[in-house]
């Protein structure tokens, strides 16, 4: 049964409230209408586009909690953050991130997304990467969205924190890394450049 415009817009509003990071494309499929119709509905309902919704949520969380780096130094957009526990960021792969000849993302952008998320999740004003073990599991192309998920997995005997980051495109893992992070509150008397493993 076809919904009226009012019914669709009410459902659209509720859907976005429940899932603020849903894309216009996903909404169009869900409601079986064109992307243009979704955009017009959002405009009529004064619902901002996805990028603005992400920025609004991230900025609120960021200003209240993050310590290790300013928001403009994170690669990707942080959409969830629980210090010393977990964090999630989104990176939309655009022309600036890819090789011009094949439209495949340069690896350092995926690394930077993961590394900056590992820094951001640390509850410390100074968090530095001591070591990283990374793996790229598939190529990422222009137009794809990379969702990076960081989880703090423990501390070593020197008080350094291990952070596991896995990045996905449509639930397929494209990057994984384990980052060993120095913290200023555990560095008294030892150099951040020492690595005596």
**Residue matched to tokens 């793996």:** 135
Decide if 122 contacts 185 (C-beta within 8 A).
no
Domain 5-57 class, CATH top level: mainly alpha
Q: What is the pLDDT of residue 56?
A: 66
pTM of the entire predicted model:
0.66
Q: What is the pLDDT of residue 187?
A: 44
Q: What is the pLDDT of residue 57?
A: 61
Where the chain has pLDDT below 70, the residues are: 1, 51, 54-72, 185-197
Residues in Cβ contact with 148 at an 8 Å cutoff, skipping those fewer than 6 apart: 76, 88, 89, 90, 91, 113, 114, 117, 165, 166, 167, 168, 175
Residues in Cβ contact with 13 at an 8 Å cutoff, skipping those fewer than 6 apart: 45, 47
Count CB-CB contacts under 10 A for residue 55: 16
**Residue matched to tokens 């596991």:** 164
Q: What is the pLDDT of residue 197?
A: 43
Domain 66-183 class, CATH top level: alpha beta
Count CB-CB contacts under 10 A for residue 169: 18
Structure tokens of 3? 């919904």
The CATH 3.10.129.10 domain(s) of the chain lie at 66-183
Decide if 86 contacts 149 (C-beta within 8 A).
yes
The CATH 1.10.10.10 domain(s) of the chain lie at 5-57
């Amino acid at each position: 049964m076809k919904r009226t415009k009012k019914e669709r817009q009410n459902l659209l509003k509720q859907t976005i409230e429940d899932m603020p990071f849903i894309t216009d494309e996903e909404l169009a499929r869900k409601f079986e209408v064109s992307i243009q119709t979704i955009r017009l509905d959002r405009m009529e309902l004064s619902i901002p586009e996805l990028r603005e919704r992400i920025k609004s949520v991230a900025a609120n969380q960021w200003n209240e909690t993050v310590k290790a780096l300013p928001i403009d130094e994170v690669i990707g957009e942080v959409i969830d953050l629980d210090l010393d526990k977990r964090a999630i960021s989104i990176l939309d792969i655009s022309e600036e991130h890819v090789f011009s000849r094949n439209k495949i993302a340069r690896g350092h952008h995926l690394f930077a997304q993961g590394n900056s998320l590992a820094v951001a999740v640390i509850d410390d004003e100074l968090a530095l990467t001591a070591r990283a073990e990374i793996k790229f599991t598939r190529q990422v192309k222009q137009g794809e969205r990379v969702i990076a998920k960081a989880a703090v997995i423990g501390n070593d005997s020197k008080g350094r924190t291990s952070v596991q980051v896995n990045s996905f495109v449509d639930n397929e893992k494209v990057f994984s890394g384990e980052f060993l992070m120095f913290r200023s509150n555990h560095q008294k008397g030892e150099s951040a450049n020492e690595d005596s493993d």
